[in-house]
Amino acid sequence: MGNLTNIAIKNAAPGRYQDGGGLMIEIKEGGAGKWIYRYSFAKKRRDMGLGAWPAVSLAEARKSRDQWAAVLRSGRDPVSVRSAQKAEAKAALDRQDPTFKEMAETTFESRKGRLRGDGERGRWFSPLRLHVIPKIGAKRMSEIHQADIKAALAPIWRKKYPTAEKAIQRTRIVFETAKLTGVACDPLTVDAAMHMLGEVHHETVNLSSAPWREVPGIYAAIPDTVPGLCLRWSILTAVRPDASRGARFSEIERDTWTVPADRVKGMRGKVEPFRVPLSGEALSVADRAAQFSNNFLFPGQRSGTVSDVAVTKALRLLHPTATVHGFRASCRTWMEDVDACSYDVAESILGHVVGGKVERTYQRSDRLDRRRPVMEAWARFVTGQESDEVVPIRR
């Protein structure tokens, strides 16, 4: 028997009271208390919490003290042993029923191999990290209800629908992956949440582009700064901005620029390097860019390449609404309006896939030679050497 009784504990003033054998109780203001098992291990005093009183009774505290005292007599540290047990139990639970955050990270890791730049470039994980994990990341997969998912995405469901749509689609992928690995969850939970969120009539807004007849005026006003030269290059080549900003001198051979596969839009393993015919004006831009670097055509101020912010800022000074990417649409519309080339050549210039899977199996040309005169004609128009009434020869 110990020194304490239930009545004595109930009537005790704030303070610490010994029961014997290392067991004590600390009573706080208001009558609540906590059990402590004090012992020495490796010549160091250790205090081990055994739970709160009155949730843990005197009898239960004594029984717990006796169990850990037996561990101590076996030569092991009770605190360390309990920590290891908790970690093992948590690891087992994580395997059987991980949290949403753990499962989302596992899903992302399993998909990285097929995503560009290991998923960072396309920000596959971003919608989950920003909008779902903060709300339900700590919940176990089996505990997540459709109402939890609804509550997480309701704030952006109508205001930022494209982002919300990505978030809920990827949440479903997480549930599907979890179910395939044996976790007790149902992807239909996500479908139910989507039903609860309701339908959204969202109209896609295309990136703003300058009318093609305005491009020569914009081009003439662009300064020969690094961002300005990058903007010129993007207009002349009609290549996506990310690929343009990363252009290197080593990628240019005579009058052809080869964009590496890792900067070509598409899933890893599904894209190939993209050859771009360079007009005389584009080669002139490259010559002028050589004064800034012998590696990147458009270097950043400190390292790497010029930022998209810097290039966009250079354009904003010339045109308040146009976007760098929008010049691809300007070029494509020009090709259509002046009947510059056939449909397949025009789409090839933009790096778009032309034809079905079977057709592409047999037709493997990138139409480089047919694209070259079109890009030269576009450069002449952009630089004001040719009016918009002149129709390039189709080939």
* 290-296 LR contacts (CB < 8 Å, sep 24+): 290/249, 292/226, 293/249, 294/249, 295/248, 295/249, 295/250, 296/246, 296/247, 296/248, 296/249
Q: Which residue has the tokens 């919490």?
A: 49
Q: How far apart are CA 200 and CA 157, in angstroms?
A: 8
- Cα–Cα distances (Å) from 152 to 176, 190, 202, in that order, read 19, 12, 20
- Amino acid letter for position 271: V
Cα distance between residue 106 and residue 98, in whole Å: 10
Q: Across residues 144-160, what is the average pLDDT?
A: 93
As assigned by CATH, the class of the 6-89 domain is alpha beta
pLDDT at position 118 is 56
Residue spans per domain, the chain = 6-89, 100-197, 212-382
By the 8 A CB rule, do 187 and 172 touch? yes
Query: pLDDT tens digits, residue range 16-33?
Result: 999 888 999 999 888 889
In CATH, the number for domain 100-197 is 1.10.150
What's residue 269's pLDDT?
47
Beta-sheet pairing, 252-253 with 44-53: unpaired
More confident residue, 298 or 357: 298
Task: Say what the pLDDT of residue 321 is.
Answer: 81
Tokens 């176990």 identify what position? 140
Q: Is the pLDDT of residue 202 over 50?
A: no
Confidence (pLDDT) at 359: 47
Beta bridge partners of 27: 15, 33
Identify which of 231, 215, 151, 188 has the alpha carbon closest to the alpha carbon of residue 378: 215
Assign a CATH topology to domain 212-382.
hpI Integrase; Chain A (1.10.443)
Q: What is the pLDDT of residues 86-120, one digit of tens each?
A: 877 677 666 678 999 999 998 998 887 666 555 55
